[in-house]
Amino acid sequence: MHYRKRTRLSLLLVTVVLIASMLASCGAAPVTESASAAPASSEAASVEPSTAASESASAEESPTQQEFVTLQIIYPGDMSKRMESFLSNEFATKMKDELSLAVELSWIPWDQYWGKKDVMIAAGEQIDWYWDGGPNFSQVITKSASTDIDELLQKNGTDILRMIPKENFDPFRKEGKIHAIPIQAAPTAEKFKSTLARTDFMEEAGISDIKSVADLETYYTAVVAKHPEMKFSAGIPSMQREYIPFNSTTYGVGGSILLNEDTGKAEAYFLNPAYEAMCRKVAEWNAKGWIGEDLTLKAQEDLGRFATGLYLFNSGAISRPMENINDVRKNAPEATLNEYLLSPEKPKYKWLSSTEIIVISPTAKYPDRAMQMINWFLASKENYMFAIYGVEGQDYKMEGDRISQLTTDSLWYEWMFRNREYVQFPTTVTDDFIKVYKAWDEGAVLSKAFGFTFDTAASADQEAQLKAVLDESFLALTTAYVDFDKNYPKAVEDLKAAGMETYVAEFQKQLDAYLAK
């Protein structure tokens, strides 16, 4: 009897241990964007933001006299082989000698980056700094995934303040306090509203500029007569500047809020008649066979298509001629690229100061040291070149004032840290592009909503629903994959049901309150 009791007890114990281990397996579902909607309150963080502790490393101490610490950083993408050796050798030595710190980089695949970042912060895991996209700043704020860095900037970020224009910080404030470093200081006026074009064919066709949709069509017709293999556009070129009858900028999920820069009134972009006109223009191109279903089915792969060298245009992002030229030249060795704005007579609006931000996490163990490290990148051109391009002679060589890279492996991402004072143009871009790039922001006007952060905490569900409708219905309409007349009314119905009007009203309310201040 006693024996049976003991056996049962031991069986029960084994069971409990097994169940405890099994608990670890529950809830394992892929991280998606929606997972990031989980409350990421800093209150949940078990690692306390040890500002006080790390403040012991006083500002008076030189960086090398400070306690040796290890910073934890999360970084998107996959580590290249050269980066692996660079981080453990040259860069590690530099960090140790100059800042008395070591760096541990956790690389997270692009698809999972935001989901895992949110989970890690919510779980209170040590992350000293991380990257995010500038347009995601409102999400960062909504999820309490940042800290106020005003004091840190003053104490340890003097070179950041020197190298990044003061107004660039404005869009990244919460209640007046800076919460992110707008690390990329490059041209941003009308970002994503320009057109990337093959200029080698322009020269051949005797076309010197692109100012309108009609110019795009004329250019294509002239080229395709001589080169029938050439296709129109790898992605839908932005036509907003020409088709929207007033000066405007777009905000909100999927650019769904159209802000009239003249009146300060917001409206739903997809309900504006200009949207219909643009869709009909794309449908016209589709009917002529100029664009295909790839633009819908593989909407995100426009750069891959453009790299085949068979497309005249793509949507632009100001710096694409510099970023994509080598890729295109693999298939079209003579290719040259530049970017153009339609309706150039209209004002150019800056709606965002930086498309890339660096955030000191609320779970940072060494926030002051993290700031020192970020500051180091911008402290001198020597540091900037070393971090991004590596060792001269080994990883790159200079040809006059242009750079030629000797390795295909990337180190710290250039686009992330790009600074107009330090930017190094490659040997493959044209002088024309450099001229256009340097002058891009000249005469730019600040958008009415510049510096305003749309707090979407109250409309997070609505935003998710709107995104679903935009992905399911409006992408196919925008790319003319489906018939506009048949499908638009239902799409509008869905958009309204998802709360588009309330969403716009909330934006307007917050913007008005911001402007009133």
Partner 1 sequence: MNNRIGSDQILKFAAGAIILIFSLACLYPLLLTFMVSISDEYLVQINGFKLIPEKFSLDTYIFLYKTNADRILNAYGVTTLVTAGGTVLALIFTSMLAFTISLKTVKYRGAISFFCYFTVIFPAGMIPWYIVCVNVLQLKNTWFALILPYAVNVWNLFLLRNYFQSIPDSILESARIDGANDFTVFSRLVMPMSRTALLTVGLFYAIQFWNDWWLSIMLISKREMYPMQFFLFNILSSVNALSSGMLQDGSRIRVPTETVKMAVTIVTVLPILFLFPLIQKHFIKGIMVGAVKG
156 binds partner 1 (CB under 8 A): no
Count of beta carbons in the 10 Å neighbourhood of residue 34: 10
320 binds partner 1 (CB under 8 A): yes
327 binds partner 1 (CB under 8 A): yes
Among 333, 345, 408, 516, binds partner 1 (CB under 8 A): 408
Residues 6 or more apart whose CB falls under 8 angstroms from that of 70 comprise 101, 102, 103, 104
Shortest CB 111 distance to partner 1, Å: 5
Among 1, 2, 22, 289, binds partner 1 (CB under 8 A): 22
425 binds partner 1 (CB under 8 A): no
* Tokens read off for 27: 């809830």
Angle between helices 90-99 and 81-88 (to 10 degrees): 30
- The CA distance from 292 to 211, in Å, is 24
Shortest CB 505 distance to partner 1, Å: 32
410 binds partner 1 (CB under 8 A): yes
Judged by beta carbon, residue 47 or residue 277, the one nearer partner 1 is 47
Closest CA to 328 of 232, 196, 424, 213: 196
Among 1, 2, 24, 176, binds partner 1 (CB under 8 A): 24
Stretch that binds partner 1, among 79-87, 368-376, 438-446, 490-498 (CB under 8 A): 79-87
Q: Three-class SS of residue 12?
A: helix
Shortest CB 96 distance to partner 1, Å: 21
15 binds partner 1 (CB under 8 A): yes
208 binds partner 1 (CB under 8 A): no
14 binds partner 1 (CB under 8 A): yes
Q: What burial class does residue 62 get, using C-beta atoms within 10 Å of its C-beta: 0-12 exposed, 13-18 middle, 19+ buried? A: exposed
Angle between helices 320-329 and 431-439 (to 10 degrees): 160
Amino acid at 91: F
Strand 311-315 and strand 195-198: the pairing is antiparallel
Among 1, 2, 30, 333, binds partner 1 (CB under 8 A): 30
Judged by beta carbon, residue 292 or residue 347, the one nearer partner 1 is 292
Count of beta carbons in the 10 Å neighbourhood of residue 305: 18
Among 141, 317, 342, 436, binds partner 1 (CB under 8 A): 317
308 binds partner 1 (CB under 8 A): yes
50 binds partner 1 (CB under 8 A): no
Shortest CB 164 distance to partner 1, Å: 19
Among 273, 304, 344, 489, binds partner 1 (CB under 8 A): 304
Stretch that binds partner 1, among 217-225, 294-302, 375-383, 488-496 (CB under 8 A): 294-302
Judged by beta carbon, residue 139 or residue 272, the one nearer partner 1 is 139
* Tokens read off for 228: 């029938």
Shortest CB 285 distance to partner 1, Å: 19
Q: What is the DSSP string of 283-318?
A: HHHHHTTSS-THHHHTGGGHHHHHTTT-EEEEE--S
Among 19, 52, 59, 516, binds partner 1 (CB under 8 A): 19
Among 69, 92, 119, 277, binds partner 1 (CB under 8 A): 119
The count of C-alpha atoms lying within 13 angstroms of the C-alpha of 407, restricted to the half-sphere facing its C-beta, is: 17
> What are the residues facing 314 on neighbouring strands?
196
Stretch that binds partner 1, among 51-59, 100-108, 202-210, 251-259 (CB under 8 A): 100-108
Among 2, 21, 62, 431, binds partner 1 (CB under 8 A): 21
46 binds partner 1 (CB under 8 A): yes
> What are the residues facing 315 on neighbouring strands?
195
* Tokens read off for 255: 């650019």
323 binds partner 1 (CB under 8 A): yes
Among 67, 84, 262, 493, binds partner 1 (CB under 8 A): 84
CB of 314 within 8 A of CB of 235? yes
Strand 101-108 and strand 129-133: the pairing is unpaired
Whole-number Cα distances in Å, 12 to 4, 24, 368:
12, 19, 50
User: Within positions 447 to 506, which residues make up the interface with partner 1, using CB under 8 A?
Assistant: none
Stretch that binds partner 1, among 110-118, 165-173, 265-273, 340-348 (CB under 8 A): 110-118
Shortest CB 298 distance to partner 1, Å: 8
* Tokens read off for 245: 């009858």
274 binds partner 1 (CB under 8 A): no
First to last CA, the chain: 81
CB of 417 within 8 A of CB of 377? yes
Stretch that binds partner 1, among 10-18, 58-66, 153-161, 465-473 (CB under 8 A): 10-18
* 64 backbone dihedrals φ, ψ, rounded to 5°: -75, -20
123 binds partner 1 (CB under 8 A): yes
